[in-house]
Amino acid sequence: MATNGSSSPRAEDTENSLEKIKRQLSSSSGRNLLQGPLLKRSETLRKWNERWMILDPTTGKMEYKLRRTEAVVKGTIIFDANSNITISPVNFHGLPKYDGCCFYIGTPQKKEYYLCAETPGAARAWVSTLHATQLVLRAHKEAVNSLSGNGSAKLGTVAAVVAAANSMALESTKEIEAAMKISMRTALGMVTNRINEGPMDDLSIMKETLRVKDEELQQLARDLRARDSTIKEIAEKLTDTAEAAQAAASAAHAMDEQRRFACSEIDRLTNESKKQLESSMLKLRVSEEKVMVVSKERDEFLKQRDSALREAQLWRSELGKARERVVILEGAVVRAEERAKVAEADAEAKVKEAMGKELAAVKDKEELLVYVNVLQAKLKRFTL
């Protein structure tokens, strides 16, 4: 369990580590800027322009200017530890003299930079220094995560990686200076071939040399000022990191207090749950007794139901027999009705036949009466 006594030494160790890194970065050999000319392809017109590049391997900042003597920064090439930096097997520039001199920087934000050095060795030097700078950025990120409690990296690794990056920048500077000398010789050779004037006198050579040296001294002064500002910026960042570490320690202490409170709440809830469990067991036993009584009553009800079912079955059989008798009686009634209908039809036919005979007899009687009347009339005539 963490306490205030244990968090204070941890914060002191963090501050000591940060102070050590500050001293290493602020020392005279703490940083070596890698500078030199590079051809940069424009993003819109795809045109190659010469730019003076300045890479700080301790911070990962890569700036460029139009010329070396200018103080205004033209732009910045942004990359991180996850960027893809590699020498391109394809000659982006197109001229044969730049074969093996082109390299590529691709960022996770889908930002792409196409650059070209004077010689293949200079291109390899730039890429190696950029890779070392990526290691510095990754180590710095891991150190910040470890201070926040999210990682296991040690702060001492930052200084080691920075020292390695500085040594790589120093070695690369030699290669780039050699490439610049080769480029200057080539340019001077081209100028000598083009100009048909006589050789320069000693005074002109001295003036040109003094002018170049003056420009170099001015550039060195600007680099020193930029270096001092960068060291101050790094010191401020490390101070912010120390403050973040202290805030993380206080947050850990607060989390420990919350954990203790949560443990007490868990104990209280455990006791309450035990009491509730005991009461539930009592209720369960009472419920089991009730279930036994109910099961006995259910058995009695089942017996009564079985007897009722048997009686109902008996009544169903009797009802079936009665229904059969009813069906038989209904059949007899139907047959009797049919016989009555047949008898009625026969009676009606006989009545009709009798009525026909009666009508015929009436007609015969009338005819006989007419005939008798005729005979009587004839008899009366004869008697008269």
Could you read off the pLDDT of 355-379 as tens digits, one per residue? 888 888 888 888 888 888 888 888 8
**The pLDDT value given to residue 32:** 64
**The pLDDT value given to residue 110:** 78
**The pLDDT value given to residue 16:** 58
Query: Which stretches does DSSP call E strand in 42-192?
Result: 48-56, 61-65, 75-77, 84-87, 102-106, 112-116
**The pLDDT value given to residue 195:** 42
Q: Beta-carbon neighbour count of residue 48 at 10 Å? A: 19
> 136 with 157: CB under 8 angstroms?
no
Query: Which stretches does DSSP call E strand in the chain?
Result: 34-41, 48-56, 61-65, 75-77, 84-87, 102-106, 112-116
**The pLDDT value given to residue 15:** 56
**The pLDDT value given to residue 314:** 92
How far is the C-alpha of 59 from the C-alpha of 75, rounded, in Å? 16
Write down the CATH number for the domain with range 4-197+209-266: 2.30.29.30
What is this structure's pTM?
A: 0.45
Delimit the domains of the chain by residue range: 4-197+209-266
Could you read off the pLDDT of 18-48 as tens digits, one per residue? 555 545 444 434 456 788 889 999 887 788 9
**The pLDDT value given to residue 154:** 53
Residues of the chain falling short of pLDDT 50:
1-7, 22, 24-30, 151-153, 190-200
How far is the C-alpha of 56 from the C-alpha of 162, rounded, in Å? 10
How far is the C-alpha of 119 from the C-alpha of 97, rounded, in Å? 8
**The pLDDT value given to residue 309:** 92
**The pLDDT value given to residue 196:** 43
How far is the C-alpha of 145 from the C-alpha of 153, rounded, in Å? 8
Produce one character per residue of 3-27: b if its CB has 16 or more CB atoms within 10 Å, e if not. eeeebeebbeebbebbeebbebbee
CA atoms within a 13 Å half-sphere pointing along the CA-CB vector of 163: 10
